[in-house]
Every structure is written in C-alpha cells, then in structure tokens.
Structure 1
Amino acid sequence: MTTRAIMVAAPRSGGGKTTLTLALLAAFGRRGLRVGAVKTGPDYIDPAFHAAITGRPGLNLDSWCMPHPLLHGVMAAACEDVDILVVESAMGLFDGLSLPDGGRGAPSDIAAFFGIPVLLVLDMSGQGQSVGPIAQGFARWSADVRVSGVVLNRVASARHERLGREAVQAAGLPVYGALMRQGGQVLPERHLGLVQAREHGNLAGWLADLADKAERELDLDGILSAAAPLAQSGAGGQLAGLPPPPGQRIAVADDAAFSFLYGHLALFWRQAGAELVPFSPVADEAPDPSCTACWLPGGYPELHAGQLAEAATFRSGLARFAQTRAVHGECGGFMVLGQGLEDAQGVRHAMAGLLDHSTSFARRKLNLGYREATLLADGVLGPRGTRLRGHEFHYATVLDAGRDAPLASLNSGLGEVLGACGGQRGFVSGSFFHVLATVPERVDAAIPTP
C-alpha cells in the first residue's frame, strides 16, 4: 500500500498540533493502520511522543538544515511499512527564516516539497466566526501549499462549534471535527517544551483517552480521505548531508538527563554499520570501554546535576575513555563535560572536568535559533572546514569560558557572524550546537528534482 500523508499545522505554537497529532496516531492505530509520524523543524520532545505511540524512530524534516537528498532519505525511512503518515509542523505553518520559500525552515516548505495536504488546527479560544477569515487566509496564502480542511480546537459548546464550523465552511473549507475544551493541562511542560514521553506517568492510558476523544469528535474517515499518497523518491545510496558516524561502536548516554539524539542520525548511523551502545550516567554507568567513541546528547542535566556530580563510576570511566578515544557533548552533554554546573537554585556541582568551561542554569538566558558551524580543527564531527547545520535551544549560560581551543565558528541561519563556540581538548569536544546535517560542498549539485 502506498503511504498516505497529512500535515497537522496551525497559525501559531500552542494551538493544539501535538494533541491532535497524537490523537490521530492513536485512533488510526486502533483501526489497525500502520501509523508513522515525523516532525518538521528541530525538536526532540514531540518525536519522542511519536516514537512511543508508533513504535518507530522519531524523525525530523527540516528544509533549512537538510539538503534535498537527506530530506528524501528521512521521508523514505518515515514511510517504510506505513499506511498513514502524520506530519506535525513546528510553530505556525508559514513561520521560518526570512529567506526564499523552499529553504526557510518553515513547515510550508515541507508541505510544498512533498505535496502533503495540510490539516489546519484552529484554536477557538476567545473567538467565534473569526476562524473563517483565518482559515481562508491560510488556504490562499501560497499556491504551493494546499490546506485540505480544518479541525476546530478548544471549543466551548455546541453553539461555539456551530459558529466556527459555519464560518470555515463559508470560507470554502471542510471541517473535520471539533475538539471540545477540557479542564486541566493535557501535557505538562518545562523549560524546553513538553515533559519527555519517558517521564509521563500514564502515557498508555492518556493515549487511549485521546483515541476515544478522536473517535467521538473527529471525522476520521474524512481526514484519511484528505491525506495524499506520497510519491516514492529514490533515497538509496550515500545520503548527501548526513553526518558520518563518530565511531564504529558509539557509547551513547541515554537516560532522563541525556535523551536529545536526533532519530535520523541514530537510524542512518546504524544503517551505515555503526553500533550504538546506550549507558546511563544518572545510574552511574560508564561508557562501554569496547566502544570507539562516546556521544553525550543534550537533555536535562541541570535537573540531575547532584546525581551526576556523585556518579563516580561515570566520571572516572568517562575520563579513562577520553584518554584514547573521542568524546563529544551536545548542549547538555557539553555542560556535563565542563568543570561545573550551577543548578536552578544556584548550587554549583562538579562535572566531568574534561573541558575547561563552567555553566549556569540559575542565570538563565534563552538562546534559540538556526546555526551553521564551521569546524576549526579536525575532530569527531569531521575535518577542519566542515560546515554543519543545526540549532541552539537552551537557557543555560557560560559562567567561565575557560581556555580550551574553540570547536567551531558560528553563524546564524541568516548568515550573521556569532563568533566562536564550544571547546576541544585532546579527544574531547563539545558545544551548545546541535547538529542535524552537514553542508555538501556543492549543495546545488547534490539536489535532485523532487
């Protein structure tokens, strides 16, 4: 069966995209359909919820970070053995960098590139018929993006639903259901977004309730009919833009403090022949000494700083590992590689001490945006001069930059020079930068037609 796809999008963040996406996945899975999901843009947390319900890797598609061959490769992986693919958009449908369409990092880029129809979620809180002009404006904004219909969200009553439904229908769009307002916070949040799926106390029960809600309040048959078949793209062979595995056997920190490893990297590294060996620093486990590299992903080390400081086996084992083999830390992993980490209460905890910097979560400042990093020396991420694309998303600040050599020079997504970032010493490297893809030497030559 050819995979059919639909994108769940909204005019803004916080409009209900994740709730609707998970409700659709749960309801379609209950029908016996093979469900898959993918998130547009940089994000770890929503794809982890996708993975928990689909049993498949959580994947991302990003039009600014990823060259077209890598986009095709990720989409091919997302569609394998899948009947219905739900693509959850980030932010608002047309939100991205101030660049030409197609490479802005906007969800609309992905919808246009793959021909995915959009299911628009409209939050009716504080409004009634005004959702009609909003729906009409989104449907007419781009000739390359097709809005196939609307789901009304946070609807207060039958009358409230009727007002919204009639207005959207007058705009020429079908309404595929109305999710009624319910008390309480559906998904708890913290400073980087939702609480992680692995920390949800009753995820299975909550998803079953979502499936019930979808069956009661959504036109699931209509949404399935609105989904469009995806053309199969040739994604075989070497994927231009894929960062190579950092080693043959990679020790990967994986627990409540370290969980932000992009699914496409783990998937394609395995397909390239690498083995990922998980370990838990929070449980005081050291990287397997048989591994050839160690990767400390981002996550929430600031919430577990005391445990990490007391994890003597982890710290001594990591130090021995770093004497002869590569160790790299991204964001939270970078914080743990430093000399110390100040938690939200201002208490300083000693960290691994393999790099010279110190960081603080008490002195918070949001750092958010696309980044292009150019490596300043040969290392685990590639040879000197390699260009990497990804993002920063953290609240921690650097208290003391230390004296390590910088890892890379950093530009914003619009090309603004941001200066040097990160640090490297011996076999150890790290920065707040999360890598999604490499920049091929000739991007234009690497891009096939969609």
Structure 2
Amino acid sequence: MQKILYPKKEQWQQLLERPDNGLEDLFDTAKGVLQDVQRNKDAALKKYTRMFDGVTLEEFAVTKEEIDEACLSVGSDLKEAILTAKSNIEKFHEAQRVSSKVIETMPGVQCWQRSVAIDKVGLYIPGGTAPLFSTVLMLALPAKIAGCKEIVICTPAGADGKINPAILYSANLVGVSRIFKLGGIQAIGAMAYGTETVPSVSKIFGPGNRFVTAAKQLVSIKEVAIDMPAGPSEVMVMADESAEPSFIAADLLSQAEHGADSQVVLLTNSEALIDEVEKEVAAQLELLPRKDVAEKALGNSRLIVLKTEAEMLEMCNDYAPEHLIISMRDDEEIGSKVTNAGSVFLGNYSPESAGDYASGTNHTLPTQGYAKAYSGVSTDSFMKKITYQKITQAGLTKLGPSIEIMAEAEQLIAHKNAVTVRLKKIKN
C-alpha cells in the first residue's frame, strides 16, 4: 500500500483515482455476445456457456430436484446463519415501505403518488471464485417485499454443471424458484432480450465481474433498466488514535480479497496509527487463502495521513466510497456530516462485513464515486412511482387560467385549449 503524509489539496484527485476497470476494452466483446444472444437465443447461450465457463449444458433451468438436493446438503450452522441474516434484512427492508398521502395543492386539486412493484426483475448472482449466496438475500427479499410478480435468478454453474448449494438454498428460502445456470454476458443478454428458456425482465440487479458490468451498461441504453452503474468493490476507513489497528487491517483486507481491481483507503490524522495498521495488514495478509488477490488490490490502495478531521471528511466526500467505516471517537457526529457514501459503519465494532451479510442493510451499493448521485439497492429500487391527480370543476376554475397563460407563453395552443373547452363547459 502506498503511504502518503499530509498531501496538498491539489494532489487529492490524483491520489484518489480508482483503478481502471477497463470496461471500454470490453464493450465490443460484450456487444457481439449480446447481439448473438438476441438473435440466436438458447443456441447462443449454450455456445457462450461452453466457451466462457467451460460447461456444456443442454438445460439451463434448475429443477426442483436440484433445489431439494442442494437444500439437504447445506450444513445446519450455515442454514441458521442465513436465517438470521434473512430475518434482519426483512426487518430493515419492510420498514422502507411507505404509504401514499393525498395532498390538496389548492382547493379542488388533489395529487398523490402510488408505489407499484416492477412486474418482472432479474437478479444476477455471482458464482465464480466467490459464490455470493448472500446477494440472493439482498436482492430477492426486497423484491418480494416490494411485490414483484416474477423474479428470475441467473447464476453460473461450476465445472460439474451444478450451482453452489447455498445459492439454491437461499433462493428456495425466500421463495424464488425460477433459477437458470447462466453467468457472464450471456446471462445479462438472456434477461434483457428473453430466449426460448429465459424470460425477459424489466430491470436487472446484481454485481458481477467486468464482463457483467459492461453487459449491464450496454443493455441499459435501450432494452432494460439496471440497478446502478457498478465497478470493483472499495472501502474507505476514517480513523483516529482511538481506533484498533488490527480491526482496521482486517476491514481493509476484507475488501481487498474481493478482487485484484478492488481498492482500499485509510484516512487518519495519526502517523503512529498508519505504521501499526501497515504491520497488521502484512501479518494478516499471510493467513488469507485469497492472499494473491488481496495483494494485488493492495497495490491500488492508499494509507493517507491528513492534518485534521475536517480534511478527512472533505476527502471522504470527494471520494464517495462504496463502504465507509468511521473508527473515531465522535463517530456519529462525523457520520452525520457524510454526504457521499454507499453505506456507513460507525465505531470500532461495526465491521463492513456485517453489512455484507447479516446486519440488515443492503450490500448492493454504488462504486466508482457513483455514491455522489446513486443510492444502494432498497425496497424502493424494485418499485416505480405513479402520480395521480383529481381536479374538481371548482378546482379547474381556479387553476385553469394559470395553465392557459403558461401554455400560450410556450406556444402550445392545444394544451391551452384542453383547459379552455372545459372552462367554457363549466360556465355554461
């Protein structure tokens, strides 16, 4: 990790640059695969699953027998842990439901908004080097709570042609049975366009590698909505001398092991803390099964010492991290001043992995600085808003002249006339 002491503000932008995710280099490849899937449907899915995943499949749909077998093979300890996570995620996302309220903007003019679930959604669940069964809970539970009528899961099969049992157990637990053995660009294409086997959806959710990210961005141009732009995982830790170096090192490594293109950043006002964290990172890194991956990610990462808490907060909001851990004495006060972050973890005993798995918040979050404009996935992500208005004769009599004047000023006379003919009818 690169260590930087008291950088000048004009250096900040360069210091906070993310690793190049190389999506531009993938767009041509992704576009070609997507077009093939759109034209040739299941035949293309079989070709690319064999080509990219090294698996020959005749059927993509997961059978009930496969789900039952997977559920039996998951250990009781893991099942109990998943049930705990499910309960907390449900509680948090259920609380996000809001009831509509009728607003009378002026006498005789009523306006309101109604939340309606998206009918068909597709959930992409990574299943390669790290099968993310937790993502099933994070996406399928709010989709169910929102009331989506059709939920489709695509996740790649292993070399044996099977899906990780914990993924199937989690899907079964939350009541999703339309599961397909599909990964990568071809999975995104299948959900965007539909094939003989896989239904098309209206919105695609879920993280993935660079190929998945490129495919999601391409299909979002015209065919289907997506949850958000996404890139490699990242965490920023803000810490003072009250922080525990071993905790910080563990948090940094927990994100670094996601992928070689991940990035972790520590901001502190304590030079002594930097040195301690550096030692802890080196020691803990040696014990990780994914050491090689984490080591590469650390090459993209920074340990930065700033003079004041105010500078730390300013740099944090400039960076807009996906995950932000605040290990400082005044964690809540400082946290209240954060304006750009996907998810915030306050205090020494709030590890980022709690949000990844079981505290209840969603782990599908904006990366690459998109937290400046995007929120993480929530129940609301699976819904759309429809506005309503109802105007009485008295209301239109009062409001109509303003509409007529504005429409005429914009030279949209038919708009004006839609009011005028009604006002004449009321007067007569």
Higher strand share: 1
- Whether TM exceeds 0.5 here: the answer is no
Using the size of structure 1 for normalisation, the TM-score is: 0.26
Higher helix share: 2
Structure with more contact order per residue of length (Cα contacts < 8 Å, sep ≥ 6): 2
Using the size of structure 2 for normalisation, the TM-score is: 0.27
